[in-house]
């Protein structure tokens, strides 16, 4: 049912934890199952995500997609991170079972929401950058 990559990221998730001095934080819930995810990021002055950690109360697919998503945006700019889709994360994991695709939206939404938090803390209106949803 699950690919080897999903099993790997579920069994050995990358970037789990918290960042006490994070400058971008979010908590999002999955409307479909009620699971939640928290994301912490350190974003430097050139808008590079230098560190990212997550915690989730979610299923195995949520853990694996969060782990992969954090790997994919670490070291990238905020603009690049905003282009990350849950579909790209699922593809990087060699696919998810169709009934588990909704689990992968948690990571995409948490990253986007943390970036909104980052701009709000700087006193910048995030809407023109991030869009509204
Ligand atoms: Fe359990 Fe989506 S409802 S992972
Ligand atoms: Fe809730 Fe997977 S079942 S995130």
Q: What is the pLDDT of residues 53-104, one digit of tens each?
A: 999 999 999 999 999 999 999 999 999 999 999 999 999 999 999 999 989 9
User: pTM score, two decimals?
Assistant: 0.92
Please report the pLDDT score of residue 129 as a whole number.
84
Please report the pLDDT score of residue 31 as a whole number.
83
- H or E segment and range at residue 49: strand 49-57
Domain ranges (residues) in the chain: 4-122
- Tell me what percent of the residues of the chain surpass a pLDDT of 90: 83
| Class of the domain covering 4-122 | alpha beta
d(CA 112, CA 95): 22
Å from CA of 21 to ligand 1 middle? 31
What's the whole-number mean pLDDT along residues 96-119? 93
Across all residues in the chain, what is the average pLDDT?
94
Q: Whose C-alpha lies nearest to ligand 1, atom 1?
A: 59
Å from CA of 2 to ligand 2 middle? 14
- Enumerate residues 6+ apart whose C-beta is below 8 A from 88: 72
* Residues within a 6 A CB radius of ligand 2: 30, 33, 35, 58-59, 61-62, 103, 106
Give the single-character DSSP code of 96. Answer: -
Check pLDDT > 70 for residue 16. Answer: yes
Residues that are catalytic: 33, 103
What's the whole-number mean pLDDT along residues 107-123? 95
Å from CA of 63 to ligand 2 middle? 9
């Amino acid at each position: 049912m699950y690919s080897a990559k999903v099993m790997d990221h579920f069994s050995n998730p990358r970037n789990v934890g918290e960042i006490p001095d994070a400058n971008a934080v979010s908590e999002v819930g999955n409307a479909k199952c009620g699971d939640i995810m928290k994301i912490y990021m350190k974003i430097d002055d050139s808008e590079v995500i230098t560190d990212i950690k997550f915690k989730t109360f979610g299923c195995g697919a949520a853990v694996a997609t969060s782990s992969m998503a954090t790997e994919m945006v670490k070291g990238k700019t905020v603009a690049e991170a905003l282009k990350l889709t849950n579909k790209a994360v699922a593809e990087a994991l060699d696919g998810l079972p169709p009934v588990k695709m909704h689990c992968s939206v948690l990571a995409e939404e948490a990253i986007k929401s943390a970036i909104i938090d980052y701009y709000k803390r700087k006193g910048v209106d995030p809407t023109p950058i991030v869009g509204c949803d």
